[in-house]
Structure 1
């Protein structure tokens, strides 16, 4: 997966928006003003920071060499995934979906229910 494919996939999530609060080199993806991903390129390597269940976060780090503790993030709840080919695209998409779903679950009930009504629970919680 490359930068464009990752960006397109993140923006395909219901009501996801892209923002650049940290400057032009770090694309932040949000749902209802809550960040669920940060896509950037550092020293020529594309990476994406994704929210993750703490137990799963460590398991993914143990399985994939391209999954690291979240760079400049809470390392218990965030992973940095290198888009260098060491992690299969389908696994990166699954991690992106989980990150989005975790953030949606943390939204206020009225916001969460509006998303579920508009897009269906399968679209919101893949």
Structure 2
């Protein structure tokens, strides 16, 4: 999958997530996606290729990095809690959707209950 497609898939999934919004606090080269004022996804091309950076459970992130050459530690983020998705390889749309959704839910579950746009225990689990 090429970089533009990778970012387009991630962006399309974000548009389906309640309460998610796009900001540019680091300038026009960084798309920063937040829910409840907390970052759950970033996109940029400052590395020379279009990449997507998402939050991941540390154990899941480690397993994903071992399983996929196109997943590396989070670029300019905490390497334990963030992963970077790179274009060019075998990442499937379903995996991109799942990783974006999981990143969103990891952030939502840490928001105060009154600020949660969805219940993270059930959102997307019936799919």
* Superposition TM-score tier, normalisation by shorter sequence: 0.7 to 0.9
Q: Give 3-state SS (helix, strand or coil) of 1:72's partner.
A: coil
How much does 1:124 deviate?
8.6
Secondary structure of 1:18 counterpart: strand
Aligned to 1:116: 118
Structure number with the bigger relative contact order (C-alpha 8 A, sep ≥ 6) is 2
Pick the structure with more helix per residue: 1
2:107 corresponds to: 103
CA distance in 1, matches of 2:51, 2:90: 12
SS state at 2:17 partner: coil
Alignment gaps of 5+ in structure 1: none
Q: Which runs of 5+ in 2 are unaligned?
A: none
TM-score, length of structure 2 as denominator length: 0.85
Output one character per residue of 1:75-117: Cα deviation in whole Å (capped at 9) or x when no partner: 00000111334311111110101000000000012112xx237
Residue number in structure 1 paired with 2:42: 38
2:21 matched residue in structure 1: 17
CA RMSD of aligned residues (A): 2.2
